[in-house]
Structure 1
Amino acid sequence: MMHEKKRLHPIAIVIYIVKRLKQGPFLALALLLAIKKKTGDPFVDLKWLPLFLFLFYAMFAGYMSWKRFTYRLQENDMYIEQGIFVKKKRYIPFERIQGISYSSGVLQRLVGVVQVHIETAGRQIDEPEVILSAVSIEEAKQIERAVHHQKRENICIETEDKTATIFTLRFRDALFLSTTSGGAFGVIAAIGAFLSDFNDFIPFERLNIFFRADDTASTLVLLFIVLMIAYVLSVIGHLFRYMNFTVVKQNKTITITTGLLQKKSISTSIERVQAIGVKESPIRHLFGYVSVHLIHAGGALDDGRHGSLVLFPLVRKNEVASLVATCFPEYRLHDSFRLLCTRVRWRYMLRSLYTVMLIPVITIVFFQRFETLLLLVPAVYVGYRSYKRAGVTIKSEQLALRSGWLTIKTVYMLKHRIQSLTISQSRMQQRLGLCTVRATVMPGIRTKVVDVDEHEAQAIYEWFLRNKE
């Protein structure tokens, strides 16, 4: 047990500097350019002076963040001091630590250290988790051993005879996952923000030689090139994230390792898993692939949604049940759902129409473009598909709800993990004998199925109250 104060590895100075540089220079330069356009002050022509000042501040703040950050382990808790100008002290009892995960970026791997993420119970959404940016592997394992020993889990990190590799993502599957991801729109937004902030440094007037403003074909070609660049960048980013993705089970702990340039190791206890979700996107569904997520009593250990953790990013649908049973024997994943009654079909199709109705209305009223009415055809199909895929089912002590629009999500929940079950009715649903079933497994994380027959909803509610342990 380390009772003396410890500092992070000096490489943390560089990490802190890089983190501050990511947050500031684009905004500073954009503000500088805006002032230059409005004032025309010749002093503002020294556009690089604020940037140099910001670089100096980033280096000073990075060094002081490392200098003022100390941590130590006591008998039953962790003690952390940090803060550049205002010193903050934080005590974290080991019993409140819900998860410990590792990640190693390029800088950490150069000096043989890791970044440790410590997730605590009861953490507010806006409260930062504990991050040790650069500690040695031995110190990271010492922290994990101390936490497990205090919680009496008796997990030996070095033991290999009880370790089993459950899942490994193949390269061809990682490539298919990357090519069918929807991250291209985020890249396009980032490119647009970059171009809008730095348009003074980019010679757009030279592009007029190749692309004229009044040339529709040239505009379409330029748009296609931007889309292709965004798509390629999105594919590369997903490949770097999901390469070498493996799932290992060790006693009652699931360890997920992923990443090419920045390797991450995420550990979560089986006892903290509250539910299991299966997602089916339209393209991957055609090829028989789905993704599996865990809803666990912790934070976003993989920098994703709070309480969600990717277990299998891409897996054959016919292999999901056996793989999940290997990790979580209590769960029985299946595809036999009780479909919704036929009288709600039109309600699902109308909801889908409402989402796109505004587009053809605006284009017809202002531009007389009646061809946009063709958008209503795929909208009706999406609504009908949502109706056909939605459903509920009860098997023994497990409730499963399936719903969605483009991406269909199925959530499997054990009865003793469900925190609340709500049956609600609107006025229209009351006339039609329908209900909305909502199940909550964690605060802020709930799933629902709309327009369930009220007799079936009542049966689900009675099942939930009957012999609940």
Structure 2
Amino acid sequence: MNCAIGFPRLQGWRKMMSEQRYKLHWITAVVETVKTLKDMIAPFVILVVANGFKGESTQPWFVQYWSLILFGILLVSTLVAGIVKWRRFDYWFEDQELRMVSGLFVRKKRYIPFDRIQSLDYTEGIFHRPFNLVKVKVETAGSASGKDAEAELTAITKDAAEQIEQEIQRAKRVQITGPIPRRYENEELLLHGDREITQETERSVRAVFSMTTGDLLMLATTSGGIGVILSGAVVFLSQIEEIIPFDWLFGELESFVRFGVFVIGILILLGFILVWLLSVAMTFLANYDFKVKLEKDDLVITRGLLEKKRVTVPLNRVQNVSIVENPFRQLFGYASVVLSSAGGVGEGARIKLFPLAKRDRIIEPLQELFPNLDFGEPTEVLDARGKRFYYRFKLFLTLVLVAAASYFLFPYGLLSLLLLPFVWGLGLWQYKTAAYSILPKQLTMRFRSISRHTVFMEKNRIQSMEVDQNYFHRRRKVATVTVNVKSGMTVDAPAVRHMPQEQAEQFLLWYEYPTESKE
């Protein structure tokens, strides 16, 4: 077959591909229904518990059971909405775009050019895994909501998800190499070329990092999930306090106190242990089998046991790298690594590259991923000129609180005096932690809130730099330097505070002049 005949056949194949439309899996209706009910279940439970399942018997039946009727209406309406989304959602590929149309009465169309797609993030929930399905989130540089992705395919097969990736690769290859040359005589040759690209991609996948069992247990046992659980319990109890028989409870408690304060303390301790174990289990399941792989120029992060997640981070969108060490984990030599990304929303903006690992294990893989960065410790420390600023204002505020507590809660309020040495010690700790390094093409900053942060960023990734001085700063000739880099739709702003003014001016001079002049 000659080229004059083969190329029209290729165009016909392309036309057939653009006309072929794809549906979501039927489990979409179930997933959407459960998702909506999950969002409404908390206020609904509070409403039912507070008002009861049944009203007064003298009222009509539909008034007595109004809460159950309302629940039935919500259940049916959410199920119908899920079925509508499943039946009325189509997607297809046309003119190097991912196109989607949805809606029953109002049809919404969304066209996303392949060259705007930054990544495809996959999630396998408990409804997806039995059917070998995934949820696909399409992330673009223009995802502007801060919460939602550009588009979401609730449930499609893994083969369909792979097909989307192949279409994106094909479009980007055409953008680089130009239009499809006439030497492709038929569609078989083109498909063979796609298979070669797929095989090359598979060969280029390289494991970078995986959490050991020890890392995972340390992460789970030291996570902050217990605070989330306790705050949720407090909110729930505050909503139903009217129906709790406090008089009866306090009466029972009064008689129970006779058994001794020790027994009550043991029960409270057991309650905290139970909440802590629940937090450990949640963190363990969420981060189970955490792995980071490098696929060409993308980082692929996978994690989860019950719900598997896959997040893709383009390396060229990473703006800075932060090593975070909280005090407790730092005692055992552990740290986490967080990336700020210019694209994506949610997890796509602040990404935990390594949730937790030994400090000496993370430098080597970081150096492989970001060869242009020097991950050495910052060498320039602050002199004593700005030392008092780290604790003086905090001590003043704390002293006001201590005075109020001591006056209104005397004598127990005097215990708040213990806050003063704690605040003073924290300020000194923050002062001793602060450091920086200015390299020709890189800036490294180290600072502490409670956790210690060491931030590494290339000069060409910095969006802006600010030097701030208040009245007291000017008197002592100190200043605060803040560096802004893009992180999703917001900015990440690491800062070294209360540094000597001449050192702050070095930052501005370094940022103002081109790198070549410094070399």
Same fold (TM over 0.5): yes
Find the counterpart in structure 1 of residue 469 from structure 2: 425
Please, which runs of 5 or more residues in structure 1 have no aligned partner? Answer: none
CA contact (8 A) 1:438 1:449 kept: yes
Find the counterpart in structure 2 of residue 48 from structure 1: 68
CA contact (8 A) 1:289 1:315 kept: yes
Q: State the number of aligned residues.
A: 465
- In structure 2, how many angstroms separate the alpha carbons of the residues matched to 1:112 and 1:440? 42
- In structure 1, how many angstroms separate the alpha carbons of the residues matched to 2:293 and 2:217? 22
1:447 pairs, out of 494, 512, 515, with 494
Find the counterpart in structure 1 of residue 47 from structure 2: 31
2:444 pairs, out of 386, 400, 415, with 400
Query: CA deviation digits over 1:234-264, x for unaligned, max 9?
Result: 1111101111011111221211111111111
Q: CA deviation at 1:422?
A: 1.7
- In structure 2, how many angstroms separate the alpha carbons of the residues matched to 1:173 and 1:370? 41
Query: CA deviation digits over 1:111-140, x for unaligned, max 9?
Result: 001111111112223573111111111111
Q: CA deviation at 1:225?
A: 3.9
CA contact (8 A) 1:98 1:297 kept: no
Does the C-alpha gap of structure 1 residues 116 and 360 become closer, same or farther in structure 2, counting only changes over 3 Å? same
- Residues 155-304 of structure 1 aligned to structure 2 (within 5 Å): 156-158=197-199, 159-197=201-239, 211-212=253-254, 215=257, 217=261, 220-221=265-266, 223-300=268-345, 303-304=346-347
- Residues 402-417 of structure 1 aligned to structure 2 (within 5 Å): 402-417=446-461
Secondary structure at 2:362's aligned position in 1?
helix
Find the counterpart in structure 1 of residue 427 from structure 2: 383
- In structure 2, how many angstroms separate the alpha carbons of the residues matched to 1:22 and 1:141? 30
- In structure 2, how many angstroms separate the alpha carbons of the residues matched to 1:202 and 1:226? 19
Please, which runs of 5 or more residues in structure 2 have no aligned partner? Answer: 1-16, 177-193
- In structure 2, how many angstroms separate the alpha carbons of the residues matched to 1:99 and 1:50? 41
Q: CA deviation at 1:407?
A: 1.2
Does the C-alpha gap of structure 1 residues 199 and 49 become closer, same or farther in structure 2, counting only changes over 3 Å? farther
Structure ranking higher in helix proportion: 2
1:69 pairs, out of 89, 100, 108, with 89
2:118 pairs, out of 95, 98, 111, with 98
Match status 1:137 vs 2:158: yes
> What TM-score comes out, normalization by structure 2 length?
0.82
The letter for the 2-side match of 1:22 is K
Does the C-alpha gap of structure 1 residues 115 and 351 become closer, same or farther in structure 2, counting only changes over 3 Å? farther
Identity across aligned pairs (percent)?
29
CA contact (8 A) 1:174 1:239 kept: yes
Q: Which moved more, 1:138-147 or 1:119-128?
A: 119-128
- In structure 2, how many angstroms separate the alpha carbons of the residues matched to 1:292 and 1:126? 22
- In structure 2, how many angstroms separate the alpha carbons of the residues matched to 1:110 and 1:365? 63
- Residues 347-358 of structure 1 aligned to structure 2 (within 5 Å): 347-353=389-395, 356-357=398-399
CA contact (8 A) 2:378 2:436 kept: no
- In structure 2, how many angstroms separate the alpha carbons of the residues matched to 1:390 and 1:32? 53
Q: Which moved more, 1:274-283 or 1:443-452?
A: 443-452
Secondary structure at 1:406's aligned position in 2?
coil
CA contact (8 A) 1:188 1:226 kept: no
Q: CA deviation at 1:48?
A: 2.0
CA contact (8 A) 1:113 1:137 kept: yes
Q: CA deviation at 1:36?
A: 6.6
Secondary structure at 1:187's aligned position in 2?
helix
Find the counterpart in structure 1 of residue 183 from structure 2: none
Find the counterpart in structure 2 of residue 124 from structure 1: 144
> What TM-score comes out, normalization by structure 1 length?
0.90
Query: CA deviation digits over 1:156-183, x for unaligned, max 9?
Result: 4544332221111011110101111112
Secondary structure at 2:482's aligned position in 1?
strand
Does the C-alpha gap of structure 1 residues 33 and 177 become closer, same or farther in structure 2, counting only changes over 3 Å? closer
Match status 1:109 vs 2:129: yes
Does the C-alpha gap of structure 1 residues 143 and 293 become closer, same or farther in structure 2, counting only changes over 3 Å? same
The letter for the 1-side match of 2:22 is K
- In structure 1, how many angstroms separate the alpha carbons of the residues matched to 2:232 and 2:396? 29
- In structure 2, how many angstroms separate the alpha carbons of the residues matched to 1:52 and 1:272? 47
1:364 pairs, out of 400, 406, 409, with 406
Secondary structure at 1:131's aligned position in 2?
strand
Does the C-alpha gap of structure 1 residues 87 and 203 become closer, same or farther in structure 2, counting only changes over 3 Å? farther
